């Protein structure tokens, strides 16, 4: 490596920066390819407990697939019937699990232990499609096995769905869940205005979900919470401990961003920030207020992209935060998120092998 650096005319630091930049470019390219890749198959759940909770919340049945295998210990043979566009579309009204030990090993173990029936031969000898209630109890009447065609699957799905007239399609539920998760994230970060906006979007969704009903009355609740957080920051600002006063100032900067558009709360925050600026003992923290606010806004933007599933865009923002705002707490948090995205990609790659 040393000889290469000398020949290319790079110093150690420049070369490391170049390698780091190249790594980011390659990862972003891979993320883009992953997102652009067409996936004509059902949206498989990756977590058993979360899937059952979703089924109950959406009021939908569960579809479980046990693929056949190449021999008793061989790899699975992905069922061609599940590539059919009509079947994939119908799966929108189910929570779907597949016994794929490469992609979803924990799910596969659960299915093998609880749903395989020995009367259909050894595990993986024949394709099985199993329908269950939202609590996971099998609807054995609709069990399909063997050489299953599209007509058999869609007929069974139609019959099962008649039992659940209020079923919420997955795409609509996912949109609502993202809005709810974003609202709760912003609330935790003291970005109450951002949270209120997401709750309003959630309340406008035309689906029968408890989270949609609860979102309608959130503005008053969140503004009251914002006022309490401002009071807490004011008390902390009067602490004898310098560390507490620095922390109070940072919270106020976040609350300044988080109460934009709400005059009463915003004016109180600005008043307290002005008071904090008179405290010479925390001048170094006050001087970083602009950087801290910009880092906070960038972090909120990155988190929104992350929860929205745009990993490529989120990754780019996280790396920008670590580069430009290294002296803030958001740089460390952004670095952890970037690592999380890298781990997601590694797991996805391993699942393909």
pLDDT tens readout for residues 126-171: 999 999 999 999 999 999 999 999 999 999 999 999 999 999 999 9
Strand ranges in the chain using DSSP code E only, listed in sequence order: 62-66, 68-69, 76-77, 95-98, 128-132, 144-145
What's the average model confidence in pLDDT over 290-318?
96
Contact 187, 225 (CB under 8 A): yes
Phi and psi at residue 133, in whole multiples of 5°? Answer: -70, 170
CB 305 within 8 A of CB 317: yes
Nearest Cα to Cα of residue 95 among 123, 135, 127: 135
Question: Could you give the C-alpha distances from 254 to 182, 194, 296, 307, in angstroms and in order?
Answer: 17, 12, 7, 20
> What pLDDT was estimated at residue 258?
97
DSSP annotation string for 223-244: HHHHHHHHHHHHHHHT-S-HHH
Alpha-carbon distance of 81 to 145, in angstroms, equals 12
- The pLDDT tens digits of the residues spanning 72-94 come to 677 889 999 999 999 999 999 99
CA 188 – CA 227 distance, rounded (Å): 14
For 14-38, b/e burial (b = at least 16 CB within 10 A) is: ebeeeeeeeeeeebbeebeeeeeee
Percent helix, strand and coil across the chain, each to the nearest 5: 65, 5, 25
Q: What is the mean pLDDT of the chain?
A: 88
Does the pLDDT value for residue 178 go beyond 90?
yes
**Is 7's pLDDT higher than 70?**
no
Give the per-residue pLDDT at 72.
65
φ/ψ of 166, rounded to 5, equals -100, 15
**In this structure, what are the phi and psi dihedrals at residue 148, rounded to the nearest 5 degrees?**
-90, 130
pTM of the entire predicted model:
0.78
The predicted-structure confidence for 16-39, as pLDDT tens digits, reads as follows: 443 344 444 445 444 444 443 345
- Return the pLDDT at 70: 85
pLDDT at 23: 46
83 CA to centre of own chain: 26
Residues in the chain: 353
How large a percentage of the chain has pLDDT more than 90? 76
Torsion of CA 254, 257, 258, 261, to 10 degrees: 160
Q: Give the pLDDT confidence score for residue 286 in this predicted structure.
A: 95
């Amino acid at each position: 490596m040393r000889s290469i650096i000398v020949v290319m005319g790079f110093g150690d630091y420049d070369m490391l920066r170049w390698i780091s930049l190249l790594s980011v470019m390659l990862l972003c390219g891979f993320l883009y390819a992953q997102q652009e890749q067409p996936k004509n198959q059902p949206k498989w759940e990756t977590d058993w407990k979360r899937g059952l909770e979703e089924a109950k919340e959406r009021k939908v049945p569960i579809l479980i697939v046990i693929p056949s295998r190449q021999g008793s210990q061989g790899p699975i043979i992905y069922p061609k019937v599940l590539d059919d566009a009509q079947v994939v579309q119908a799966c929108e009204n189910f929570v779907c699990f597949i016994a794929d030990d490469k992609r979803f090993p924990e799910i596969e173990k659960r299915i093998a232990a609880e749903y395989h029936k020995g009367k259909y031969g050894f595990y993986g000898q024949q394709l099985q499609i199993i329908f269950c209630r939202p609590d996971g109890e099998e609807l054995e009447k609709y069990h399909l096995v063997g050489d299953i065609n599209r007509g058999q699957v869609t007929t069974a799905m139609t019959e099962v769905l008649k039992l659940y007239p209020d079923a919420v399609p997955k795409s609509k539920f996912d949109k609502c869940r993202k809005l709810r998760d974003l609202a709760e994230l912003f609330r935790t970060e003291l970005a109450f205005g951002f949270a209120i906006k997401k709750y309003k979007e959630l309340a406008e969704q035309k689906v029968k979900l408890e989270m949609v009903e609860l979102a309608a009355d959130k503005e008053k609740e969140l503004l009251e919470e914002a006022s309490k957080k401002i009071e807490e920051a004011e008390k902390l600002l009067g602490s004898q401990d310098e560390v507490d006063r620095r922390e109070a100032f940072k919270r106020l900067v976040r609350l300044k961003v988080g109460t934009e558009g709400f005059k009463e709360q915003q004016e109180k925050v600005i008043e307290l920030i002005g008071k904090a600026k008179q405290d010479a003992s925390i001048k170094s923290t006050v001087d970083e207020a602009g950087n801290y606010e910009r880092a906070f806004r960038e972090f909120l933007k990155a988190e929104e992209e992350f929860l929205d599933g745009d990993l490529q865009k989120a990754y780019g923002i996280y790396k920008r935060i670590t580069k430009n705002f290294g002296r803030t707490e958001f740089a460390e948090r952004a670095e952890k998120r970037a690592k999380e995205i890298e781990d997601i990609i590694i797991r996805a790659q391993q699942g393909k092998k």
